Structure 1
Amino acid sequence: MSVETPPERKPITSCEQIDLSDWDFWARPIAEREHAFELLRERDTPVFFAEPELSFAPRGDGYHAIVRHADILAISRNPDVFSSGEGGATNIVDMPAEFAEYFGSMINMDDPRHARLRRIVSRAFTPKMIQKFEDDVRTAAAGIVDGLLEKGPGCDFVTEVAARLPLKIICDMMGIPEKDYGYVFDRSNVILGASDPEYVPSGDQNQIVTALLNAGLELQQLVQDLAAYRADNPTGDLTSSLVNANVDGERLTMQELGSFFILLVVAGNETTRNAISQGLLLLTRNPAEKARWLTDIDGHAPKAVEEIVRLASPVNYMRRKVTRDHELNGTLYKKGEKTVLYYWSANRDGAVFADPYRFDITRDPNPHVGFGGPGPHFCLGAHLARREITLMFRELLGRVPQIEAGRPQRLFSSFINGVKHLPCDF
């Protein structure tokens, strides 16, 4: 899995040249990938691709690439037919059983198991609790910008700004001490960036598996040790609420708590930091929109944040497996087949978004699927993510309005549309 650009790469001019399972596709520039998905959206029916070949997981029969906004909405609203629990939602191939211990969170479940876990978690992870942390988010964002101004121009916006806010908030919510922030950050990078040689240098598939499982084990152990202590010594943190939550006689097991923490760290930390990083890129490349936002920072924030999430689309896709034969929008999906929902493509669908590649902070309506499609798997932390992005840009635009992004170093991943490093100037 090399990130080197092939010297003889040909431009994509037809669907026959596209292979979403080929690692080389995900090393192409963003503009080339946008064009490829545009070609796929123009097809009458979804294209069927062979699955990626991995040494550590069985290769299935292939998958339908769902690239249109309307299809993704319809599939998301029909979880009985399009399952998240049969083989997992976060990987195209069916992952080995040992992965379930660490990554078998509710995102990879169907009802009734999914509903049970979401009910228990939702009782603790409520808007009221998020509101309690509102002042903490605001204080943290201000402190991060203080540090940015002290460091001066030329620093890495990802590590100094974008990554720090969601990491601090999630760790503080869970009661993870500050001394462990770096530990959590490094392991979350491995989980979502295992295919990138910066995080698993060799690129060997067996070493990638080992790195993934070790990172999952270490994060799970961290929160389970804390939970064991909080069971008898509760505080106001989320770990205390989760470990002591009793909803109609149901509690989280320690394994479920560990898997939820991994989901929270990965989904709530990595995706928000990528939205913030790509938000700065969008503002740098669209100075007129930045100038417009500066005319009314708070007034434009709600729509601007939605537009950032739409174009950033931090999670490229989720997978579903068909539980019974089903026809949708003229296509017959057969029992056992896989569908991969490319949110990144749906958020650029010209049938829904006028001038879809344009960054417009006043876009309305903006029915993006950056937090997933409608239905039971819509992102539980969407409200928190919106607040973090809003408050971070309030601080940046209010105090460092001249800040601009340099050339990004992008994460090599088919799953996450990420930025690893981003120099900034002001």
Structure 2
Amino acid sequence: MTDPRHHPAPDLADPAFWKLPPAERLAGFARLREQPRPAYFVERGATGRRPERGFYALVRHADVLKASRLPQVFASAPGVTSPEPARWVRAVFGDSMVNLDGADHARLRRIVSQAFTPRLLAATELSIRELAVRIVDDMVAERPGEFVSAVASRMSFEVICAMLGVPDAYRRRIARQIDRASEHAGVSRGLGARLRSPGKGLRALARMQLTVARLRRERRRHPTGDLISALVCADLEGQALNYRQLGSFFSLLLVAGVETTRNAIAHALALLTGHPDQLALLVSDFERYADGAVDEIVRHSTPIIQFRRTVTARYTMSGHTFLPGDKVMLLYASANRDASVFDDPDAFDITRSPNPHLGYGGGGPHYCLGAHLARLEIKAILCELLTRPLVLRTLGAPELGTSNFDHRVRRQHFAFDVTKG
């Protein structure tokens, strides 16, 4: 990678930066890590006639970790994404758990955590292995040419639907709603798309809410042992999730859980086939190297690039004093390449140990609830793809989305051969 000292620091508020190839963006993060204190960026639309909008970028592993574990200073409310959800949107659709702090967040998280019973988790783990077998069986029989839709998306979506208890009849409709809700997460939209996408996304979320409300009524009357039943029948201090809370969690789990795991699986194919030495090592003893491979895939690809935080109290860190109201970007994609933590950080090494990546967040109360589930999914599909008599190869580089939020793979063309074993 280019020496960061010989080039100017990038402008993370400029959409052009997020259109750069991934290697150039990573080089930009490296230049920011060389700076003595967090850089500040003014976002587009901020002019002298309007209040300035901007954010500080936390790019070092230590800073992202510290901010993640200080929610009393670096708050998730009113929103971890940009733009922040409008008040009327939060009133209509409910507050997502990722946008809550303190007692409100803790109460929702307790209800959700209580619903993840050992019995449900054991059944989910079994269904993940069975689903991985079916997906690869279908892949061999149908010989698709595009990996994301045929394998990665199907794995992540069907696992979440099965765990929630979404009937088969609803799944195709919900899949379309997820695509519409997340279609314009990037930064490369033209004016027409910018004007259309909020309405499209909100309509998709509204339809998902109606679907959830219908499922909630059904499960309240007839619990079936799935996650929705557990959430609407929970009895934590006499409380369960109301329809807005359930709808918000449903959307979070489907959009966030499906998108991030799908992207990690898609990146896994490109990384392993692009590093044949690592692929050979993993295939030589899958059980020995699989867990390390999953963690390195997540570190190297970092499916969620960043989350935002709002400063609530005066606090000094890395030579800068943050003030209440300041906006901060936690850049996981940069923290996961911090050379002060990771030896040869740009290398893909499935034996890397330790591997304290921040691909599921930096700890604290907002550490990803689905981290264990995501690891199981990635490991299960890799097991089926790599321990069968198959030879897989990518055809060209993955087609990536242009986003400052997630490291999305839109399409990855591939081919494979069935060998005699």
Q: TM-score, normalised by structure 2?
A: 0.92
In structure 2, relative to structure 1, the CA distance for the partners of 1:310 and 1:128 (3 Å cut) is farther
Deviation, structure 1 residue 13: 5.9
Pairwise CA distance, 1:201: 8.8
Tell which deviates more after alignment, 306-315 or 118-127.
Answer: 118-127
The alpha-carbon distance between structure 1 residues 207 and 391, as it changes in their structure 2 partners (threshold 3 A), is same
Q: Give 2:106's aligned amino acid.
A: A
Question: Which whole-Å CA distance do the structure 2 matches of 1:12 and 1:389 have between them?
Answer: 37
What residue identity is the alignment partner of 1:237?
A: D
| Counterpart check, 1:350 vs 2:339 | yes
Q: In the alignment, does 2:115 pair up with 1:124?
A: yes
Q: Which ranges of structure 1 fall in alignment gaps of 5 or more residues?
A: 1-10
Q: 1:324 aligns with which of 288, 306, 313?
A: 313
Cα distance in 2, alignment partners of residues 42 and 99 from structure 1: 39
Superposed displacement of residue 180, structure 1: 2.7
SS of the residue 2:329 aligns to:
strand
Amino acid at match of 1:133: T
Distance 1:222-1:59 versus aligned 2 partners, 3 A rule: farther
Aligned match of 2:419: none
Taking the aligned partners of 1:398 and 1:147, their CA distance within structure 2 comes to 16
C-alpha distance 103-265 of structure 1, shift in aligned 2 (>3 A): farther
Cα pair distance change 1:59/1:385, threshold 3 Å: farther
Per the TM alignment, residue 202 of structure 1 is displaced from its structure 2 partner at its CA by 7.0
- Asked if 1 retains the 8 angstrom alpha-carbon contact of 2:18 and 2:404, the reply is yes
1:193–1:411 CA contact under 8 A, matched in 2: no
Residue 282 of structure 1, aligned match among 249, 259, 271: 271
Q: Which of the residues 210, 234, 247 maps onto 1:258?
A: 247
Contact 2:15/2:187 (8 A) holds in 1: no
Q: State which of 156, 175, 179 in structure 1 corresponds to 2:169.
A: 179
- Counterpart-to-counterpart distance in 2, 1:145 and 1:76: 38
The aligned counterpart of 2:400 is 410
The sequence identity of aligned pairs, in percent, is: 41
One-letter amino acid of the structure 2 residue matched with residue 14 of structure 1? H
The residue number in structure 1 matching 2:64 is 72
Do the aligned partners of residues 201 and 49 (structure 1) sit closer, same or farther apart at CA in structure 2, a change above 3 Å counting?
Answer: closer
User: Number of matched residues?
Assistant: 408
Mapping of residues 283-322 of structure 1, within 5 Å: 283-322=272-311
**2:106 maps to 1:115:** yes
TM-score by length of 1: 0.91
- How far apart, CA to CA, are the structure 2 residues paired with 1:201 and 1:157? 28
Structure 2 counterparts to residues 24-173 of structure 1, below 5 A: 24-53=16-45, 61-85=53-77, 87-91=78-82, 93-100=83-90, 101-102=92-93, 104-152=95-143, 155-173=145-163
How many angstroms apart in 1 are the aligned matches of 2:94 and 2:298? 25
Give the Cα separation in 2 of the matches to 1:148 and 1:80: 48
- Name the structure 2 match of 1:191: 181
> Residue 396 of structure 1: CA displacement?
0.4
Give the one of 223, 229, 243 matched to 1:240: 229
1:195 Cα shift?
A: 4.4
Q: 1:103 to 1:190 in 2, by over 3 A?
A: farther
Aligned equivalent of 2:355: 366
Q: CA RMSD in A?
A: 2.1
Deviations 1:218-271 (A, max 9, x none): 112111110111101110111111111110112211100000000000121110
8 Å CA contact retained: 1:197, 1:203: no
Question: In the alignment, residue 57 of structure 2 is paired with which amino acid?
Answer: A
Give how far 1:99 is off.
2.9
**Letter of the 1:110 counterpart:** D
Distance 1:59 1:389, change over 3 A: farther
Say yes or no: does 1:20 pair with 2:12.
Answer: yes
**Separation of aligned partners in 2, 1:217 and 1:259:** 10
| CA distance, structure 2, for counterparts of residue 400 and residue 148 of structure 1 | 13
Q: Residue 415 of structure 1 aligns to which amino acid in structure 2?
A: F
- 2:292–2:350: 8 Å Cα contact kept in structure 1? yes
Displacement of 1:59 after TM fit? 6.9
